Amino acid sequence: MQNSPLTAKVRKDFPILKREIHGHPLAYLDNAATTQKPKCVIDALVNFYEKHNSNISRGVYTLAEEATEIYEDGRETVAKFIGAADSGKIIFSRGTTESINLIAAAWIQPKLKAGDRIIVTEMEHHSNLVPWQLAAQTSGAELLYWPINLESEKSGIGSLDLQKFEEMLKDATKIKQGIRLLAVTAVSNVLGTVNPIAEIVKIAHSHGVPVLVDAAQAAARMPIDVARWDCDFLAFSGHKIYGPTGIGVLYVKNERLEEMQPFQGGGGMIRQVNRQTSTWADAPQKFEAGTPPVAEVYGLTAAVEYLSDIGMQEIQQHEIELTNHALKRFAEFNDLELYGPQDINSRSGVLSFNLRNVHPHDVAQVLDESGIGVRAGHHCTQVLHKRLGIVASVRMSFGLYNNTSEIDLLISELDRCRQLFIE
Ligand code: PMP
């Protein structure tokens, strides 16, 4: 097995990698869907329930104080991880999806009017499309699509053309259309495209348009700095950054917090409850009704500390090396159609492809027989798949424990697909 110094160091931290699938070592290449968990994250969950379990903020006894500290320390650790310590607040949610729905319900919906527009890109995950559709439908607003590039060599296939975005904003100004938000992913969960978020935010802000960044894929793959990006909102999920399921992060810039209505009502988010009306706690508690996911925050904190100890730059470099290897190997075959940028500088380690004349589900099933886990389908991006002129694709996506041997294994198993389904 060809392990880089990073994989050699980290593979032993992930108990699931000892598993065999159909008599073969597990080659887990579905990290865009969810990541495996290091022992420290699993231990944190057990440790919480064995030693600290209690509800937060509702008791003055030792366990309740410990749980509260765990929860609030987690908030601080996450804020540091994404460079948010001074510029805004971290709100905990159940995942990227809930974080985006929170902004749709608590921030944009109350202010949307008929004729308003929300700009989204054609590469968005359904989580960053459907909440805006729902918000728009109640007010007569509409979604405008920033198209992906399918031709230009300069920008690369599957990238976003910044000039096109400027044009959309200028056109909107000419006809006095209110653009209320740009919702854009930092990394595409299909094309692997890495979008230039700082540049995009600068253009959007110069036209007075706030920006929400979907960082579900980016958070595990590159350093994130919300203060430098200057985005208004940013969302990601714990389970995609080696943490537990059921925990998500929403970053909101300080100046936007004042504009937000409560999301859900209940305990913990109030200051005073009267018979007919109530007043609200300060942010972030105002947006965290009910008993929060304390154990999950503890697990997420362990994941963030684990990643920070390794270093996000090193993780990004490792992914670049794997992606380079995969791009070279893919280029050997002319019956393999890869979607997304070919240029390593504008893509990450999420690679979707089709093998000519073989259904993606068949490919995924054959690969599973050799212990390889990849995803087949539309990956919650039906708008994108329609734009690409396909209904489904196979997706291989890297994590920090993957190595080049696993990519080579996948490539050689594609030969078996050819033999089974074509020849
Ligand atoms: N956005 C992107 C880019 C994603 O890849 C995903 C998960 N596939 C989501 C949003 C939704 O994340 P979750 O299901 O964890 O809420």
Given this model, what pLDDT does residue 3 score? 75
Mean pLDDT lowest among 63-67, 172-176, 276-280, 300-304: 172-176
Cα 274 to chain centroid distance, Å, stands at 39
Q: What is the mean pLDDT of residues 228-257?
A: 98
Distance of CA 278 to CAs 23, 127, 269, 275, Å? 60, 31, 10, 8
- Is residue 44 within 8 Å of residue 59, measured between CB atoms? no
- Is residue 385 within 8 Å of residue 393, measured between CB atoms? yes
Residue 338 has pLDDT above 90, yes or no: yes
pTM of the complete model: 0.97
Domain boundaries defined on the chain: 5-30+312-421, 46-309
List all residues whose CB is within 6 A of at least one atom of ligand 1.
32, 95-97, 125, 127-128, 185, 189, 214, 216-217, 237, 380
From 127, 217, 222, mutation site for ligand 1 pocket: most ligand atoms within 8 A of C-beta:
127
Residue 293 has pLDDT above 90, yes or no: yes
**Nearest atom in ligand 1 to 379's CA:** 8
Given this model, what pLDDT does residue 392 score? 97
Given this model, what pLDDT does residue 172 score? 86
Q: For residue 184, how far is its CA from the centre of ligand 1 (angstroms)?
A: 12
9 Cβ contact list (under 8 Å, min separation 6): 310
> Looking at beta carbons, which pairs linking 359-363 to residues 24 or more positions away fall under 8 Å?
359/392, 359/421, 360/392, 360/393, 360/394, 361/392, 362/417, 362/420, 362/421, 363/394, 363/414, 363/417
Q: What is the mean pLDDT of residues 74-87?
A: 95
Side-chain half-sphere exposure of 116, counting CA atoms within 13 A: 22
Which of 122, 120, 94, 81 shows the shortest CA–CA distance to 211? 120
From 380, 395, 398, mutation site for ligand 1 pocket: most ligand atoms within 8 A of C-beta:
380
- Tens of pLDDT, residue by residue over 107-123, are 999 999 999 999 999 99
**pLDDT > 90: percent of the chain:** 92
- Is residue 158 within 8 Å of residue 128, measured between CB atoms? no
Mean pLDDT, the chain, rounded, equals 95
Q: For residue 348, how far is its CA from the centre of ligand 1 (angstroms)?
A: 16
Given this model, what pLDDT does residue 265 score? 98
Given this model, what pLDDT does residue 57 score? 78
Which of 219, 222, 165, 228 shows the shortest CA–CA distance to 198? 228
- Tens of pLDDT, residue by residue over 219-239, are 999 999 999 999 999 999 999
Q: What is the mean pLDDT of residues 137-156?
A: 85
Could you give the residue numbers annotated as active site? 380
**pLDDT > 70: percent of the chain:** 98
Class of domain 46-309: alpha beta
* Confidence band, pLDDT 50/70/90 cuts, at residue 309: very high
Class of domain 5-30+312-421: alpha beta
Given this model, what pLDDT does residue 16 score? 98
Given this model, what pLDDT does residue 1 score? 57
Residues paired with 92 in a beta bridge: 249
Given this model, what pLDDT does residue 298 score? 98
Residue 154 has pLDDT above 60, yes or no: no
Distance of CA 204 to CAs 197, 366, 373, Å? 10, 45, 39
- Tens of pLDDT, residue by residue over 259-282, are 999 999 999 999 999 999 999 999
Given this model, what pLDDT does residue 168 score? 95
Mean pLDDT lowest among 56-70, 158-172, 256-270, 339-353: 56-70
Given this model, what pLDDT does residue 142 score? 95
Residue 175 has pLDDT above 90, yes or no: no
Given this model, what pLDDT does residue 192 score? 98
